[in-house]
Amino acid sequence: MAKTREIKRRMKAVGNIERITKTMQMIATARFQAALRVVTQSQAYAQKIRELVGELAAAQGDHGGSVNHPLLRQAQNPQRHRLLVLTSQRGLCGAYNTNVLRTAMAFRNRQADGSVDLEVVGKKGVAYFKFNGIDVSRHHDQIGDKPQYADVERLATDHIDAFTRGECDGIHVAFMGFETVARQSPRIQTLLPLVAPGGGEETATGPQATVDYDYSPEPQSLLNELLPATVKTQLFQCFNEAVLGEHVARMVAMKNATDSAGKMSRELSLRFNRARQASITTELTEIISGAQSLE
């Protein structure tokens, strides 16, 4: 009887866990759908601004000029790097943080001849580096689960100013890149220096211009405004993809937890029925044995 009571308590506990994980899965699914709309919209904006920068660079070349901007400065021997690691504020999202942090550590280890200044977004990244005894220069706790462009813009402006002053040779972002719903991959994206836009063929910043525009002011003046905007847009896109990847990972993790709880509940139900049947059989045997002893 004690065994059946214990199994029944476990069944109740597993049922509670299953309801909680199912609810968390539904919440993660709703947040994923909202984040997917944001990423889709920001991708279109980022793509358009890259195309515009490419067209302006092509127009500048047609006028006999060249694109020259501090954000395009390529160091001859880059030694000082700044790495911004985007992790989550909460857990229960599978191997999401582990994959991002492993990618960040691999990048850090490759820079053995130089220095890497670490900046972290998210409590999980701070806890990881603290546990491993690795110094973190800054923890950006002002950016929550829903990144706002104003917060990301201030962060990007700090990076742009540091790069322009020559405090670092390269600024990189480690985050979970979104490809499809079924596929996300951790990656390192170089934020600065920007790839020099060039005309004539498609580049990393934009395709060849196909329309002859009349620019006012001059293309170089427009580029001076658009190149910093490109950096801010790229960083904002990284944040949006990181948030989307976190929701996908949590949605999958909670679905797996719900399925496992359901499977365990069925196994416990089977064990409970067997234990209950064994208990009934034992009681019947005792009753029959007692009746026979009285004859």
pTM, rounded to two decimals: 0.82
Going across the sheet that includes 170-180, the strands are 138-139, 115-121, 80-86, 170-180, 183-192
Task: State residue 86's pLDDT score.
Answer: 95
Task: State residue 197's pLDDT score.
Answer: 61
Q: Are 238 and 156 contacting, i.e. CB atoms less than 8 angstroms apart? A: no
What tens digit of pLDDT does each residue of 198-257 get?
544 444 444 444 556 666 677 677 778 888 899 999 999 999 999 999 999 999 999 999
Q: Are 129 and 120 contacting, i.e. CB atoms less than 8 angstroms apart? A: yes
User: Which letter does DSSP use for residue 200 in this model?
Assistant: S
Task: State residue 69's pLDDT score.
Answer: 76
For residue 258, the surrounding DSSP H or E stretch is helix 219-294
Task: State residue 232's pLDDT score.
Answer: 92
Please give the average per-residue pLDDT across 125-138, as a whole number.
93
Task: State residue 238's pLDDT score.
Answer: 93
Give the range among 43-47, 162-166, 231-235 with minimum mean pLDDT. Answer: 43-47
More confident residue, 59 or 267: 267
Task: State residue 31's pLDDT score.
Answer: 92
Task: State residue 26's pLDDT score.
Answer: 95
**Whether the predicted pLDDT of 63 surpasses 60:** no
**Whether the predicted pLDDT of 14 surpasses 80:** yes
Mean pLDDT (the chain, rounded)? 85
Task: State residue 2's pLDDT score.
Answer: 59
Please give the average per-residue pLDDT across 83-108, as a whole number.
93
More confident residue, 77 or 205: 77
| Domains parsed from the chain with CATH numbers | 28-252 (3.40.1380.10)
**Whether the predicted pLDDT of 270 surpasses 80:** yes
Name 115's bridge partners: 80
Task: State residue 61's pLDDT score.
Answer: 55
User: How buried is residue 59: exposed, middle or buried, by Cβ count under 10 Å (0-12/13-18/19+)?
Assistant: buried
Task: State residue 56's pLDDT score.
Answer: 73
Q: Are 81 and 188 contacting, i.e. CB atoms less than 8 angstroms apart? A: no
Task: State residue 224's pLDDT score.
Answer: 81
What tens digit of pLDDT does each residue of 93-105 get?
989 999 999 999 9
Task: State residue 221's pLDDT score.
Answer: 78
Task: State residue 62's pLDDT score.
Answer: 53
Task: State residue 198's pLDDT score.
Answer: 54
Give the range among 186-190, 195-199, 220-224 with minimum mean pLDDT. Answer: 195-199
Residue 70, number of CB atoms within 10 A of its CB: 15
Please give the average per-residue pLDDT across 46-75, as a whole number.
72
- Give the contacts of 58 (CB within 8 A, at least 6 positions apart): 198, 199, 200, 208, 209
Please give the average per-residue pLDDT across 100-120, as a whole number.
90
The DSSP string of 146-164 is: S--HHHHHHHHHHHHHHHH
More confident residue, 121 or 209: 121
Task: State residue 215's pLDDT score.
Answer: 64
* Cα torsion 61, 67, 72, 78: sign: positive
Q: Which of 174, 157, 193 is nearest to 99 (CA)?
A: 174
